[in-house]
Structure 1
Amino acid sequence: MTLPRHMAGDRMRRLALVDAASAAAAASVVLPCQLPTRAVRRAALFSSLISGRASSGLQPTPTQGSPAQRVLELPSLSYGDTPMSPISARPSTPDTSWMDVENASSRRYGSRGPRISLDSGMRLRRLREALNEPAFTFHSKVRPRRVITYVQTTPGVDPKPLQDLLRAEAVRRGWEVRAWQELVDRHGPQAPQASEQWRKARKLMHEGFADGVLVLDRSHISPDDAEYEVELWFVHQRQCFTALVNPESAAS
């Protein structure tokens, strides 16, 4: 039976639409073998993680965000009867006392051997010797070194024995002492700047009439460490020296 031309055209259009719908449905179906490899691995990993947590008693709990987001609650730890969180289970302040002991030992026993703390007498002696070195390095070939002898006594005490001792010591060292360079302070212990005779000794060294000063021990200048050190620096800055018959360590 032959259909009219207009009916045959409608039938062909319906068959074309059915074929197109079938092709679209077939294209929308994706087989498991067609999934990307990374997506398959991610799904398998997530599935194994969920199954493992479920078997150990851990239950997934949804967060405040999207329903698809999941977090796992860790069980609380306990130490005796006191519950502890996973963060507080680790000690907050580790024991570092061993570091203090090691540092103290390293400071005492360094690469140069044991360190011995110096007393004030030994420290001042080393300082004086270091400050005297420039003055002793230079030596005039024309004249000997001119030195002041300074004695500090109390009223009523004869200074002559000390003056003779200092004069003999100067001669032994090859220094020259003139009569007007023998200074005696009879007012007893006092600050160096308060002594008229010590101020005279400073003036002679400052003006170049003496190369240094010689005393029996540091107590004749000052028993105070700070005052004594100031005078050492003053003499050094005038390119002169401070000499002692009895060094600081022996006098201390």
Structure 2
Amino acid sequence: MNTPSLAAQITAFLDGIPSLHWPATPDSHLNDSLWDFTEQLRIPANRQARLSQLCRSTLDTAIALPATPYKVLLYANTMAGEPSRALAAAETYAQDRGWHVVGRFVDVTPDTQPWERTEWPKILRRLRGGFAQGVVTADRSAVSPADEPYEQTLRWLSDHFSFIAHATASPRTSAVAR
């Protein structure tokens, strides 16, 4: 009887696991990411808990070995009005952690796609260029209130060893799917 080798058994097992894909537009600024997903998750998950965990992991990965104060960019997105409160909350959060603020960016738009805004792509270029390690916002909605663009952004940040931190945590929901 021919028993497959351990390597063949592992390969067969791994080939049986469905790969995850995420739809990305070809002109998005996130297309240099390693996460080129085109298929939806097959197992339902509590999306908010998963996104919170992904956000936290980008922060943990990016700041695992502190050598000098981290350079961060402050970002606010308002639909109208003055962004000073959001920037002040983000700056206080950064200063409380000993991070050095090296830039402030503000978009005034209701657009939920961050890469289609004016200032957000500038932030991504600075992160990719190594001029800063992370972004601090007042809350998650500054990036996007929609889950898919937010997750795409988190994955881009993770791929580029960058992080995002929110001064105000979003409300936590139960990790148990109902």
TM-score by length of 2: 0.67
* Pair 1:212-2:134 in alignment: yes
* Alignment partner, residue 159 of structure 2: 237
- Distance in 2 separating the partners of 1:169 and 1:134: 19
Write out per-residue CA displacement over residues 21-73 of structure 1, whole angstroms, 9 at most, x where no aligned residue: xxxxxxxxxxxxxxxxxxxxxxxxxxxxxxxxxxxxxxxxxxxxxxxxxxxxx
- Please provide the CA RMSD for this pair: 1.8
The corresponding residue for 2:83 is 159
Which residue of the partner structure matches residue 146 of structure 1? 71
| Number of aligned positions between the proteins | 130
Q: How far apart are 1:118 and its partner, in Å?
A: 5.5
Moved over 4 A (4+): none
Asked which structure has the greater CA Rg, the reply is 1
Shift in Å at residue 232 of structure 1? 0.4
Which residues in structure 2 correspond to 1:131-210 (within 5 Å)?
Answer: 131-140=58-67, 143-155=68-80, 157-178=81-102, 181-210=103-132
Q: What is the 5 A alignment of 1:1-252?
A: 119-140=46-67, 143-155=68-80, 157-178=81-102, 181-250=103-172
- What one-letter code is carried by the residue in structure 2 that aligns with 1:160? S
Q: Distance in 2 between matches of 1:232 and 1:214?
A: 13
> What CA deviation, in whole Å up to 9, does each residue of 1:187-230 have, x standing for no partner?
23331111111111101100000010011221111112111111
- Return the structure number with greater relative CO, CA threshold 8 A, min gap 6: 2
What 5-or-longer segments of structure 2 have no aligned partner?
1-43, 174-178
Q: Which is helix-richer, 1 or 2?
A: 1
Q: Residue 66 of structure 2 aligns to which amino acid in structure 1?
A: H
Unaligned residue ranges in structure 1 (runs of 5+): 1-116
Q: Per the alignment, in what secondary structure is the counterpart of residue 136 of structure 2? A: strand
Q: Could you tell me which residue of structure 1 aligns to residue 35 of structure 2?
A: none
In the superposition, the TM-score normalised over structure 1's length comes to: 0.48
